[in-house]
Structure 1
Amino acid sequence: MEWLEPLSQTMVARALTVSPTVYLLVNAAHIMAIGALFGAILSLDLRILGMFATVPLQSLALFLSRIAASGAVLAVLTGLCLFSVRPQEYAQNPAFLAKVSLVAFGVAHALAVHRTAGWRAILAGGTAPAPLRFSALLSSLIWISAIVAGRWIGFL
């Protein structure tokens, strides 16, 4: 893991190491980004699964997907900054590796879902077909697992 050592010498890593305030702000931004990502995804997944039936799925789908995507981008960017502080340590942490894997799987899953006929159907005002409902359940499980893995990092 020595090849990761130069990351800890970048300007970003040094700023985070030297200034507790900068670290605090980046960490807070990471948590807020995760909140936006997960809040949007869970809300959309629950709606696809049939909850909150009075709220039109068509209008929620695009809006919440964009919030989730923005949250994902910010979470990844701030996560990379936080990773740079102790890259070798994090790269050997099983919880961190699980989190990164789950996030990658969650993003790939979301991108795949957005290419399905079921997704196009809800954007056109239709109802969510069974495969899309299954995908919503899977999505919720993936993202809950990613959050649990992320919290687990500090305990290993």
Structure 2
Amino acid sequence: MEALEWIGTLPFAVAIRRSALLYLFVNAAHILSIGIIVGAILPLDLRLIGFFGKVPVPAVGPYLSRAAATGVILAVVTGFCLFSVRPLEYAGNAAFLTKITLLALGIVNAVLLHVTPQWRAAVKGGPLSWRVRLSALLSMAVWIGAVLAGRWIGFLSE
């Protein structure tokens, strides 16, 4: 509880809370970050489960993975800034907790995939194994779920 209260007193949290314009820009940056994640992950996941077979995985896999990782980093930073405005309220919000859980699951899934020999083979033009396809299916479900949970946050805090 004390840590949450402390987060709310951080200088950037106070600044965002006091300025509607700053809040608007941080919120917009968060939404754009989510767009980067979804815009990179969904096409990659669809390709990995077998759609768009003419698109070479070695050409799009590394690029879309890096784009998604950039989006995740930006979303975490901007999301933390938004969280800091009302940390006690968000920490008790079921939708927020669901979103954070799904975010962590999505990151773990991506990291575990990227360290496998199956991923390395796929980005070198090798076959798409069941492990890669299963990870892509999980990824799609998790990231879509995280977006839905994020939209749900506002409905539970009203």
Q: Identity over the aligned pairs, expressed in percent?
A: 53
Q: Report the equivalent of 1:32.
A: 32
Give runs of ≥4 in structure 1 deviating > 3 Å: none
Q: Output the CA distance in 1 between the equivalents of 2:13 and 2:120.
A: 42
* Secondary structure of 1:52 counterpart: coil
Which of 47-56 and 86-95 deviates more? 47-56
Q: Report the equivalent of 2:97.
A: 97
What letter matches 1:74 in structure 2? L
Distance apart, 1:129 and its partner CA: 1.1
What letter matches 2:85 in structure 1? V
Question: How many pairs align?
Answer: 156
Q: Output the CA distance in 2 between the equivalents of 1:148 and 1:127.
A: 32
* Stretches of structure 1 lacking an aligned partner (at least 5 in a row): none
Q: Output the CA distance in 2 between the equivalents of 1:36 and 1:3.
A: 30
Q: Report the equivalent of 1:129.
A: 129
Report the TM-score, using the length of structure 2 for normalisation: 0.96
Distance apart, 1:2 and its partner CA: 4.0
Q: Output the CA distance in 1 between the equivalents of 2:154 and 2:21.
A: 20
Q: Output the CA distance in 2 between the equivalents of 1:45 and 1:31.
A: 21
Q: Report the equivalent of 2:143.
A: 143
Q: Output the CA distance in 1 between the equivalents of 2:117 and 2:148.
A: 31
Q: Report the equivalent of 1:65.
A: 65
Q: Report the equivalent of 1:21.
A: 21
Distance apart, 1:101 and its partner CA: 0.6
Distance apart, 1:63 and its partner CA: 0.2
Q: Report the equivalent of 1:4.
A: 4
Distance apart, 1:123 and its partner CA: 1.4
What letter matches 2:44 in structure 1? L
Q: Output the CA distance in 2 between the equivalents of 1:64 and 1:55.
A: 13
* Secondary structure of 1:84 counterpart: helix
Report the TM-score, using the length of structure 1 for normalisation: 0.97
Distance apart, 1:3 and its partner CA: 3.2
* Secondary structure of 1:128 counterpart: coil
Q: Output the CA distance in 2 between the equivalents of 1:124 and 1:5.
A: 48
Which of 46-55 and 58-67 deviates more? 46-55
Task: Kindly report the root-mean-square deviation, in angstroms, between the aligned alpha carbons of the 2 structures.
Answer: 0.9
* Secondary structure of 1:126 counterpart: coil
